[in-house]
Amino acid sequence: MAPMGTEAKAVVLGDLVLDLVAILPGPLNYGTDTRCQLFPRPGGAAANTATWLRRLGLPVLYVGRVGADPLGQALVDGLRHEGVDARVARDPEAPTGTIVALISPGGERSMLISPGANHRLRPEDLPADALAGAGVLHLTGYSFFWDAPRQAARAALAAARAQGIPVAVDVASAGLIREYGAERLLADLAGVTYLFCNEDEARLLTGAADPEIALEMLARSFPVVGLKCGPRGSLVAAGSERVVQPALPAPAVDTTGCGDAWDAGLLAGLLQGLSLRAAARLAAWTAAWVVARPGAVPAGWADRDRAAAWTAAGAG
């Protein structure tokens, strides 16, 4: 079996929120009541990826900001329970962020976001020693779409580049890319090693409707590109190598956080020595585990699941 750990840690900076996952039995009844199943879950794209990197065997340091409220403390305690080294600032004015995820039949989600303290992440929230011994810095697009967290993300990215640490970014949101501007975001991401996106995001960044063409265009600027294609799987480029990874079979209960788990699977695999193909399969396995359960970081993960994930990746 592949190694379950590594000396080089992953540093993750970005959002930590409460997800309220509402699984709907049918269309939303506008203006009146709609029955649903409601699941409160830890969330935030950055924190999700941090948790999955840790579950897959990497030491992880997470940096973020929550409100000075019981919810923020509970979310930080949850990260620490997962084994993540959480260095989280407590904001005296803004509340902890919350997201409402409306899950339609078939598992697709629409997000209502109230970022709260995430909007106020500052460069000084990154501890001076945070990047010591890091093998990768992971950021999300959400940190680039507002002024304060953008400054924090840019400072972290610049510090990582100065120390020769690869940077990974998931661009995160087609809707927010439209508001912010694709060219502006690409300028922010100059020098990033790993770029992760879905088809809609890739289309906005490149203007190409064909995902394979979009992949090739992005691969000219980023050494490793992961393009997530939902139920069809993913396309991955690294140098001259290309991998087409079909999605693994799983009931589509909730797609919330699948992309974050996929990112963690690919990074964990590559940082722990897997081939590109095996790392892409590990990413697919992790995403399939998530989509079959409510929430981005469902409870119930155990050592046997990690062993199964590495075995499925072809590491056994």
Residues with catalytic function: 260
Please state whether beta strands 60-67 and 37-43 pair in parallel, antiparallel, or not at all (unpaired).
unpaired
Residue 30 DSSP SS3 = coil
User: Measured between alpha carbons, how far is residue 216 from residues 119, 191, 205, 224, 232 in Å?
Assistant: 33, 17, 12, 11, 18
Helices 45-55 and 258-271: crossing angle in degrees, nearest 10, is 40
- Which tokens hold the place of 256? 């919330």
CB 262 within 8 Å of CB 137: no
CB 147 within 8 Å of CB 175: no
Residue with token string 């929120």:
17
The residues, any chain, with a CB within 8 Å of residue 80's CB and separated by 6 or more, are 86
Could you tell me where the beta strands, DSSP code E, fall in 193-245? 194-198, 224-228, 234-238, 241-245
In whole angstroms, give the CA distance from residue 168 to residue 157: 9
The sign of the dihedral angle between the CA atoms of 270, 276, 281, 283 is positive
CB 47 within 8 Å of CB 12: yes
What length is written for the chain? 316
Q: Which of 190, 166, 171 is nearest to 181 (CA)?
A: 171
